[in-house]
Amino acid sequence: MKRVLVTGANGFVGRALCARLASGGMEVAGAARKDHANEVRAFGARPVVIGDLDSQTDWMAAMTGIDCVVHLAARVHVMREVESDPLAAFRAVNTFGSERLALQAAAAGVRRFVYISTIKVNGEYTENKPFSEQDKPQPSDPYAVSKWEAEQALRRLAVESGLEVVVVRPPLVYGPGVKGNFLSLMRLVHKGIPLPLGRCDNRRSLLGLDNFVDFLAMCIDHPACPGRTFVLSDGEDLSTPDLIRNLAAAMGRPARLLSIPSTWLEFAASLLDRRDVYQRLCGSLQVDSSFARRSLGWSPPQTVDAGLTATARAFLQQSVQ
């Protein structure tokens, strides 16, 4: 029986992964803070109470008998940063904290370490071709820089210790219970608020939660994974207007899209110093996941339509509670 330690076990992806692995017969330990222990247990994992994630965290007690670590916990990108030195704050958790975890995993005899990075390591947007594993990394914000530095530290450790390191760089992950910008968009669509995005001619790759969890489960013991970096997506790219239309249809709401020229939106965003918001809504970010499919024989078990419908219905159910 495989024994897996999942960090960030109480998070959006962590809960789903713990449930998937436990249902598949694996013994799962879920690392989380003390106040989330019962939540982790509810998803089929044995709670492992861990405090702050940094270069001093002691993981050794959690490593007993563990075959593989799936490292999801991270300091994530935030819209309103409060730290005076954001890069230092991200590095403390995402770079040094991840390196500490991997060092102790290797010392405890853990065989494999699956690290969840981000597609932002490749860059913020695409123009002529989708991102792939072959691209030169171009992280541009503190979050992405800290993730890229962690990847490099883990690669060095793999050479030194023999730890089997697997790196996965997902784009935006959606699914039932999603938070952040995706949840904000669903709220706007549900309320019927007109959105000036009808003429955004972009393409964005997404990754459904079920598809992501399915791939991570494969990474735990597939023989072709060690030493590899994988970029991942559903394989069905959408424009922002199409995404809104799909969500609206799943909610039984009209898609209220205004046909405002994208150049006007870009100009307005520049005046307000919010080009990052414009880029997320109207820019393209495509991911070529053909290497993962080809090398591992993986294919997403859920279509985009099915994933978006499940996400929207879960949102509606939560809204009426």
The predicted structure's pLDDT at residue 13: 97
The predicted structure's pLDDT at residue 166: 98
| E strand spans, 156-256 | 164-169, 173-174, 207-208, 229-231
The residue assigned the tokens 């530095």 is 149
The predicted structure's pLDDT at residue 188: 96
Q: Please measure the distance between the N-terminal and C-terminal CA atoms of the chain and give it in whole angstroms.
A: 39
The residue assigned the tokens 């997403």 is 300
Which residues does 83 contact at the CB level (< 8 Å), separation at least 6?
Answer: 89
User: How many residues comprise the chain?
Assistant: 321
- Averaged over successive runs of 10 residues, the pLDDT of the chain (321 residues) comes to 94 96 96 87 91 91 95 82 85 97 97 98 94 96 97 97 98 96 95 94 97 98 97 96 97 94 85 83 95 96 97 89 58
Domains of the chain from N-terminus onward: 3-176+206-233 (3.40.50.720), 177-205+234-321 (3.90.25.10)
Alpha-carbon dihedral sign for residues 208, 114, 40, 143: negative
**Per annotation, catalytic residue among 115, 125, 143, 278:** 143
Cα–Cα separations (whole angstroms), residue 197 to 33, 282, 285: 40, 8, 16
The predicted structure's pLDDT at residue 182: 95
- Gap between the Cα atoms of 97 and 192, Å rounded: 43
Asked if 125 is an active-site residue, the reply is no
The number of C-alpha atoms within 13 Å of 144 and in the hemisphere containing its C-beta is 16
The predicted structure's pLDDT at residue 95: 98
Phi-psi region of 252 (alpha: psi -120 to 50; beta: other; left: phi over 0): left
DSSP class of residue 302 equals S
Q: Are the beta carbons of 4 and 27 closer than 8 angstroms? A: yes
| E strand spans, the chain | 3-7, 27-32, 46-49, 68-71, 112-116, 164-169, 173-174, 207-208, 229-231
- Gap between the Cα atoms of 41 and 162, Å rounded: 32
Quick: pLDDT tens for 111-121. Answer: 999 999 999 99
The predicted structure's pLDDT at residue 20: 97
Element (H, E) at 300: none
Look at residue 10 and give its three-state secondary structure: coil
The predicted structure's pLDDT at residue 80: 65
The first and second tokens of residue 83, run together, are 């730290």
Look at residue 14 and give its three-state secondary structure: helix
The first and second tokens of residue 114, run together, are 């699956």
Look at residue 29 and give its three-state secondary structure: strand
The first and second tokens of residue 190, run together, are 């549900």
Cα–Cα separations (whole angstroms), residue 49 to 41, 73, 148: 12, 13, 27
pTM, 2 dp = 0.94
Using a 10 angstrom Cβ sphere, with 0-12 exposed, 13-18 middle and 19 or more buried, the burial of residue 143 is: buried
- Gap between the Cα atoms of 19 and 169, Å rounded: 22
Crossing angle for the helix pair 209-219 and 12-23, to the nearest 10 degrees: 60
